[in-house]
Amino acid sequence: MVENIKRDAAAYVPSEKVLTPVDNQPDSIKAVLREYQLEGLRWMVRMFDDGCSCILADEMGLGKTLQSIAFLACLHEMRGVAGPHLIICPLSVMSSWMDELARWCPKFRVVRLHSTDEVGPGNNTCHVINRVLDPRLLR
């Protein structure tokens, strides 16, 4: 295991991309991010720029949902990544996510998809997925 980590670390090549650092929150976010939320946003964007996945984990009530929405807005506005993006959450918080997206970033086109049905050609779920992924509909 340690040998694999050493091998991967030795093979790491930093990106040649020159990317603008995130100094301010995205314009489309209709809230004022606190400094610690901006720092979390900067960290998520740096991880994205380096090709790494990341996850926010801290105490409840510190604004992870808003930071996540700001991250998607930042990708759209500052990195040219229009989406689509997929947010997977428990059914118990799905309505909250829909409300937060509408409240904090109303310019996003959001589709709620909840189904226990199989995805297939005659299924409404398949139709919704195709409409969401249609590049002509993306902003």
- Structural domain boundaries in the chain: 2-83
User: Phi first, then psi: what are they for 101, rounded to 5°?
Assistant: -60, -45
Residue 115, CA atoms < 13 Å, CB-side half-sphere: 14
Residue 72: closest CA among 108, 18, 33: 108
Please write the tens of the pLDDT for every residue from 24-68: 899 999 999 999 999 999 999 999 998 888 888 888 888 899 999
pTM summary value: 0.73
